[in-house]
Amino acid sequence: MSVSVILASSSPSRRRVLLQAGVNPNVSVSHVDEPAALEAAAARFGGRVADLDAKQRVEILARAKARAVASYYRSVAQVAADAHGEQVTAYPLQAPQVTDAGAGGVQSDETQTGSQSRFAGAKPPVADARFRPADVKHSSDGTSDIDRTVTQDFSGLAVPTRTEPLDEAMAGLHGFESSSHGPLIIGCDSMFLFGGETFGKPHTPQVARERLTAMRGKSGELWTGHCVIDFATGRELTEASHARVRFADYTDEQVEAYVSTGEPLEVAGCFTLEGLGGPFIESVEGDPSGVLGISLPLLRRLTGKLGIDWTWLWNWQNTSAVQPGFGSRPQAQDSDIELRVAAATSPQGRIRQPGDGWVECVCGSRHWGRHGAAGILLARRDERTGEVTDIVMQHRAQWSAEGGTWGIPGGAITAGETPIEGALRESYEEANITPDDIEVVGTHREEHGPWAYTTVIAFEKPGHRVDPHPNDDESLKIGWVPVPNVAGLKLLTAFRTDWPGFTERLDRLAREYKGK
């Protein structure tokens, strides 16, 4: 059995510990208001925050983070489960072959018509490995003379399609609520207890300087709360680990140099065991991985109590695919595709999710998403007439594939989620499109055999308003764009190809859509 893990933290240290233990988690930041969470918990106890000890505080915050992420995933799962309408699947690699002359033409109208009717009522076979778009010249080593991260333009081909009810298209797909266990959501929080005072992150150089000066030659306790929620069953366990840390008698100059690096500003206790601060720690008594922010022995015990064997969390293929040089574990292999890590031009420190990676497709392009990719085409309707007026558009970051173009928010699907769930998750993480405010009314899937992209079509629910804005570094801008203005933008190749069909379908869906 394989159980996926969702880490409710953007901490590089926690993710690194899990990776080194063979677990590549999906990272989902909780955005919990920590002071408010502590105040609410203290009020329930009938006291003040000052009355809470270190163990209570880290457990309260770990639980709040895990529950916030679990609640968000339940919203995603519910909206996906309520999705209705039709899925239109396009098979561009089964379009009539380009002529041998390579003049950009296609075969005769008679052949095109035959190809379209050939697939009526039945799924076409997988992509023809011989297919090559006319405008791509391949050298003897198999590379292209154009940037292969640019999606091929299939607008000149008669592409066969298949239409089926959405519930039938999604039947049998593995999603959030289809497993007996998982995904496993892990929330953590760390605090340092020194001299009877609880330290969180110092945030400023002055606070870090004062704390490091007070701590030298002495010891304190690092407490880390852990909350583990099994999404499938709803069962939840919370516990804390702790260890005693003794510091070296370092100099004022060393304190100043360490603070100037910025490393101690955003870590509990203003030190790191695995970073630049490591040489200034004399000893650790207790769980060392807990000092790094996440206790592996404690997690193993908690998952065991939930009926999940720790080895079920291992996803070595994922970790090796996104973490070059990770031990000697085997790289992921597939007879049809070659997996590649993200482009080296992406921002340093950017989190690589389990589904991230390039797929070498038989169409000659490299596609993003080891399990495919998906995005949300979200439309706003006129409250009076019901007509579609605007859609949410993303101005893509320059470092991304076809950077600087406009498209819809979305990204790589991760293992253990359906395309609809992946699109909902990605659009929230990228564009703040909140699942509870939208209704999925159909999908469009471009099928390449070893890879596919699913456009999830949605409307704002009546009485709801989505406020899209960039949530990460993948966008230059995100916002509502009037439908008449879309064609005038510099569009992502695939979206430019599909936009005329999308406008027709949006108009039809708007006439049919009743809303809830």
Query: Which residues carry out catalysis?
Result: 189
Six-digit token string for 491: 């569009």
Cα distance between residue 97 and residue 156, in whole Å = 11
**Amino acid at site 510:** A
Report the 10 Å Cβ neighbour count for 486. Answer: 18
Six-digit token string for 115: 């190809």
Q: Is 277 exposed, middle or buried, given 0-12, 13-18 or 19+ CB atoms closer than 10 A?
A: buried
Report the number of secondary-structure helices (H) and strands (E) in the chain.
13, 19
Q: What 8-state DSSP symbol labels residue 113?
A: H
**302-337 burial string, b = 16+ CB within 10 Å, else e?**
bbeebebebebbbbbbbbbbbbeebeeeeebeeeeb
- The answer for residues whose C-beta is within 8 angstroms of residue 175's C-beta and 6 or more apart is 77, 80, 416, 417, 418, 421
Is the bond leading into 183 cis (omega within 30 degrees of zero)?
yes
Cα distance between residue 262 and residue 258, in whole Å = 7
Six-digit token string for 357: 């990676």
- The answer for residues whose C-beta is within 8 angstroms of residue 257's C-beta and 6 or more apart is none
Cα distance between residue 129 and residue 57, in whole Å = 57
Question: CA torsion sign, 393 to 398 to 400 to 401?
Answer: positive
Cα distance between residue 503 and residue 213, in whole Å = 64
Six-digit token string for 185: 């959501």
Pairing of strands 366-368, 452-460: unpaired
Which position has the token pair 């893990």? 5
SS3 12: helix
Q: What angle do CA 270, 276, 279 make, to 5 degrees?
A: 100
Cα distance between residue 334 and residue 279, in whole Å = 43
Instruction: Calculate the dihedral angle through the C-alpha atoms of 192, 198, 200, 204, rounding to the nearest 10 degrees.
Output: -110
75, 36 contact by CB (below 8 A): no
Six-digit token string for 198: 């609880």
Q: 34-44 vs 54-81: helix axis angle to the nearest 10? A: 110
373, 453 contact by CB (below 8 A): yes
231, 182 contact by CB (below 8 A): yes
